[in-house]
Amino acid sequence: MGRGGEGRERILQLNNWELDEAGTHITVHATSIQNLVRCPVCSVLSYRVHSQYQRTLSDLSWANFRVTLKLDVRKFFCNNPGCQRRIFAERITDVAVSWARKTQRLTQQLTAIGLALAGNPGVRLSKYFGFQVSRNTLLNLVRRIPLAPIKTPRILGVDD
């Protein structure tokens, strides 16, 4: 029996996890294990590590525990001398988009709640599922959804 994500390359390694003293919050520590990373500007592969930093992301709750991911992410030197960006951080797009503070899974769930209930009712449902979120966050997620393209009508009738 297969496990989820078999076709994907493994990019994260679990270091450890901890449960807070109150027993309500799980923190998962993971490290990126990608050897070669593409520059986001010129797409040249790079292997030269500049430094590393830690990203903190909120994730979906698990068994009534709030979950936080602490990801150790590296910065790389770009190998292309003509590239505008000399140093860049590796992207872990399967987990979260650049600059995000929530995982893609959590963002998708909150967007669905925002579409169904919006404002304060959405906050109450989110709290029930263990997500700490404000009504403005839910509304902003709904506003970020791209609008469907408007098709120009081919035949236009005018009524008097």
Return the pLDDT at 79. Answer: 93
Residue 8 structure tokens: 């994907």
Six-digit token string for 86: 């000399």
Q: In the prediction, which pLDDT does 54 show?
A: 93
Q: Collect contacts of 103-112 with beta carbons under 8 A, ≥24 apart.
A: 103/57, 103/58, 103/59, 103/60, 103/69, 105/59, 105/60, 106/58, 106/59, 106/60, 106/131, 107/141, 109/60, 110/137, 110/138, 110/141, 111/141, 111/142, 111/144, 111/145
8 Å CB contact between 119 and 135: yes
What are the residue boundaries of the structural domains of the chain, listed by start?
Answer: 9-92, 102-146
- Residue 160: predicted pLDDT: 61
Q: Which residue's entry shows tokens 């236009």?
A: 156
How many Å apart are CA 42 and CA 45, to the nearest integer? 9
Q: What integer pLDDT is reported at residue 2 of this predicted model?
A: 38
Low-confidence ranges of the chain (pLDDT < 70): 1-10, 21, 160
113-145 pLDDT per residue, tens: 999 998 899 999 998 888 889 999 999 999 999
The pLDDT value given to residue 119:
86
